[in-house]
């Protein structure tokens, strides 16, 4: 873990809401964020804005905890430029050795992807901290338009962290005022088959306004023209809370542009800022050949879960359910719990079809990851290549993946035959022997997809030593010049 510049990480904060004044006027600076945009502090102050400097380091565990709480992000959406436009927030990374991979969470020196869930600018410039009394990470400094500056204290045990921060940020020009009828709508990406298809539109509404939302009208527009509209009034959306909803069975053609927009709040006009509109992004349906290997990764309570794969006419291609275990009174564990189940499916040559994946849970808590290291879900392998891996958690009763994958009509015969290749003993204590008539390359992964072994040009009589790995199930992908094969290996 790199720590080229170390400061004392503050783990506890005062519970007092009063801000701590910092002597002297805030030093001015100009900096460029990671997207190439320039930020000049004095320009923001001259515009009457309250500026919040959030100092952090990508390796800082407390920083990640506060970041994961999303409090500053939510406050920014309510009071920043996409809302009432009263505040500016700048996220300033303070380690001189930090690069973009650290910010994206791709290195061991980082706690995660800092770009996700951060709507305000990120500045990777460690020199800014030297102008301010930054005595630990995270540190927050508020700068008022008159140049006065204050430490913002963490909420400690405050039962309302968001309210605590809003109180700390207020005070330069009186309390933050916010704006009414202001909400954000977001939509995930969507698949359709060969540019068109029928799908559901899932979206989430988050209330960033100062008033409760008792009814909200949402419209679906194609090329700017409304094609569907619904009003949702079943429950109240309080400030900083959300509502998940959907439009069902909508016909799409991805050659058109589609947006989901909030068009009325509480029967009246909406704030109509940039957050009140979301563009639907179409994702290409991954393509497989017609030789399929399906791997289902079960959770700890197999008797509760089931699944099926259906074609575009809702005809079931394959399905399965599992037996409860006997490791506790709730049916946990057993031979079907926390394991990988393999299914081989051959779809007739020439069949070009899109398929939906449906996962079910009778208990209503999804396929849960709380017990065990396996990540429950389903994987599709077509002609020896991974096509799709769906990792799931608490999705409730049903998870529908529409147009999850499609076949290309090609029935490949390039599969390594059983008499050409054997890996044995299986299960084993971690030492596996290779019996093969052709040179092969073998890549072995654990059930999370992490590669634990990779070997090229293995010949008859070679062995693979996995004895340092934990007991459990691993996946071997075997490749020759013109063929492939997937096997499950068990270390006991």
The encoded tokens of residue 336 equal 């079907």
Q: In this predicted structure, what is the pLDDT of residue 370? A: 58
Please give the C-alpha separations between residue 46 and each of 145, 172, 317, in angstroms, as whole numbers: 6, 13, 65
Q: Of 9-13, 148-152, 338-342, which range is least confident? A: 9-13
Q: Is the per-residue pLDDT at 11 higher than 70?
A: no
The helix-helix angle for 61-69 and 71-79 (nearest 10°) equals: 50
Average pLDDT over residues 131-142: 94
* 100-132 per-position pLDDT tens digit: 999 999 998 899 999 999 999 999 999 999 999
State pLDDT tens for residues 463-486.
Answer: 999 999 988 888 888 887 767 777
Read off the pLDDT of residues 270-280 as tens digits, 9 standing for 90 and up. Answer: 999 999 999 99
**Among 189-193, 291-295, 444-448, where is mean pLDDT lowest?**
444-448
* Residue whose tokens read 């005070």: 171
DSSP 8-state assignment for residue 282: B
The residue assigned the tokens 């968001």 is 162
CATH number of the domain at 20-169, out of 3.40.50.720, 3.40.30.10, 3.40.1440.10, 3.40.50.880? 3.40.30.10
Percentage of residues of the chain with pLDDT beyond 70: 92
Count of other CB atoms within 10 angstroms of residue 412: 16
Handedness of CA 246, 248, 250, 255 (dihedral sign): positive
Q: Strand pairing partners for 443? A: 454, 477
- DSSP H or E run through 316: strand 316-321
CB within 8 Å of 374: residues ≥ 6 apart:
297, 298, 299, 338, 339, 340, 447, 448
Domain 421-491 has CATH 2.60.40.420: no
Contacts 24+ apart (CB under 8 A), 230-239: 231/264, 232/205, 236/212, 237/183, 237/205, 237/206, 237/207, 237/212, 237/213, 238/207, 238/212, 239/78, 239/207, 239/208, 239/209, 239/210, 239/211, 239/212
Q: What pLDDT score was predicted for residue 1?
A: 30
- Domain residue spans in the chain? 20-169, 183-279, 287-407, 421-491
Q: How confident is the model at residue 214 (pLDDT cuts 50, 70, 90)?
A: very high
Given a cut of 50, whether residue 5 has pLDDT beyond it is: no
Topology agreement, domain 183-279 and domain 421-491: yes
Does the domain spanning 287-407 belong to CATH 2.60.60? yes
Q: Please give the pLDDT value at position 21.
A: 87
Q: What pLDDT, on the 0 to 100 scale, is given for residue 474?
A: 85
Per-residue pLDDT, 371 = 60
What per-residue confidence (pLDDT) applies to 416?
62
pLDDT surpassing 80 at residue 18? no
CATH number of the domain located at residue range(s) 183-279 in this protein: 2.60.40.10
Model confidence band, residue 201 (pLDDT cutoffs 50, 70, 90): very high
- pLDDT tens digits for range 161-187: 899 999 999 989 889 999 999 999 999
Average pLDDT, rounded, for the chain? 89
* 380 phi, psi to nearest 5 deg: -115, 125
CB 228 within 8 A of CB 321: no
How many angstroms separate the CA atoms of 106 and 96, rounded? Answer: 17
Q: Is the pLDDT of residue 390 over 50?
A: yes
> Given this model, what pLDDT does residue 10 score?
32
pLDDT above 80: residue 309: yes
Residue 373 has pLDDT above 80, yes or no: no
The reported pLDDT for the residue numbered 241 is 95
pTM given for the model: 0.74
Per-residue pLDDT, averaged over 386-403, amounts to 89
Res 157: pLDDT: 67
- Give the mean pLDDT of 308-332: 93
Indicate whether 8 pLDDT > 90: no
């Amino acid at each position: 873990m790199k720590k080229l510049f170390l400061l004392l990480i503050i783990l506890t904060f005062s519970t007092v809401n009063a801000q701590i004044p910092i002597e002297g006027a805030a030093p001015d600076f100009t900096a460029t964020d990671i997207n190439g945009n320039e930020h000049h502090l004095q320009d923001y102050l001259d515009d009457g804005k309250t500026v919040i400097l959030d100092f952090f380091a990508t390796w800082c565990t407390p920083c990640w905890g506060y970041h994961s709480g999303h409090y500053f992000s939510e406050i920014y959406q309510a009071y920043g430029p996409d809302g009432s436009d009263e505040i500016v927030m700048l996220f300033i990374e303070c380690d001189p050795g930090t690069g973009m991979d650290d910010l994206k969470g791709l290195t061991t020196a980082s706690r995660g992807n800092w770009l996700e869930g951060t709507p305000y600018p990120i500045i990777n410039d460690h020199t800014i901290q030297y102008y301010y009394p930054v005595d630990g990470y995270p540190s927050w400094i508020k700068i008022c338009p008159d140049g006065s500056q204050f430490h913002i204290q963490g909420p400690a045990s405050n039962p309302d962290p968001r309210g605590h921060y809003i109180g700390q940020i207020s005070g330069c020009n009186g309390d933050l005022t916010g704006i009414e009828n202001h909400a954000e709508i977001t939509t995930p990406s969507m698949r359709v088959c060969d540019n068109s298809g029928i799908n559901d539109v899932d979206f989430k509404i988050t209330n960033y306004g100062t008033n409760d939302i008792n009814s909200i009208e949402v419209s679906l527009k194609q090329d700017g023209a409304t094609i569907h509209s619904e009003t949702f009034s079943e429950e109240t959306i309080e400030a900083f809370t959300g509502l998940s909803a959907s439009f069902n069975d909508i016909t799409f053609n991805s050659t058109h542009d589609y947006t989901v927009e909030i068009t009325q709040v509480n029967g009246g006009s909406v704030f109509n800022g940039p957050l009140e509109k979301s563009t639907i992004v179409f994702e290409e349906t991954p393509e497989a050949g017609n030789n399929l290997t399906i791997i289902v990764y079960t959770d700890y309570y197999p008797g509760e879960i089931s699944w099926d794969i259906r074609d575009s006419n809702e005809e079931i291609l394959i399905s399965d359910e599992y037996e409860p275990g006997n490791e506790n009174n709730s049916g946990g564990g057993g031979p079907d719990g926390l394991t990988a189940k393999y299914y081989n499916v051959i779809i007739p040559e020439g069949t070009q079809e899109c398929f939906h994946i449906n996962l079910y849970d009778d208990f209503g808590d999804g396929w849960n990851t709380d017990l065990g290291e396996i990540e429950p879900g389903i994987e599709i392998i077509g002609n020896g290549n991974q096509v799709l891996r769906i990792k799931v958690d608490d999705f409730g009763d049903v998870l529908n993946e529409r147009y999850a994958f499609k076949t290309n009509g090609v029935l490949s015969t390039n599969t390594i035959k059983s008499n050409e290749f054997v890996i044995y003993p299986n299960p084993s204590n971690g030492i596996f022997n290779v019996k093969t008539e052709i040179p092969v390359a073998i890549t072995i992964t654990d059930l999370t997809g992490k590669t634990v072994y990779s070997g090229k040009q293995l010949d008859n009589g070679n062995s693979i030593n996995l004895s340092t790995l934990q007991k459990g199930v691993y996946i071997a992908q075997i490749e020759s010049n013109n063929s492939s094969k997937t096997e499950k290996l068990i270390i006991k």
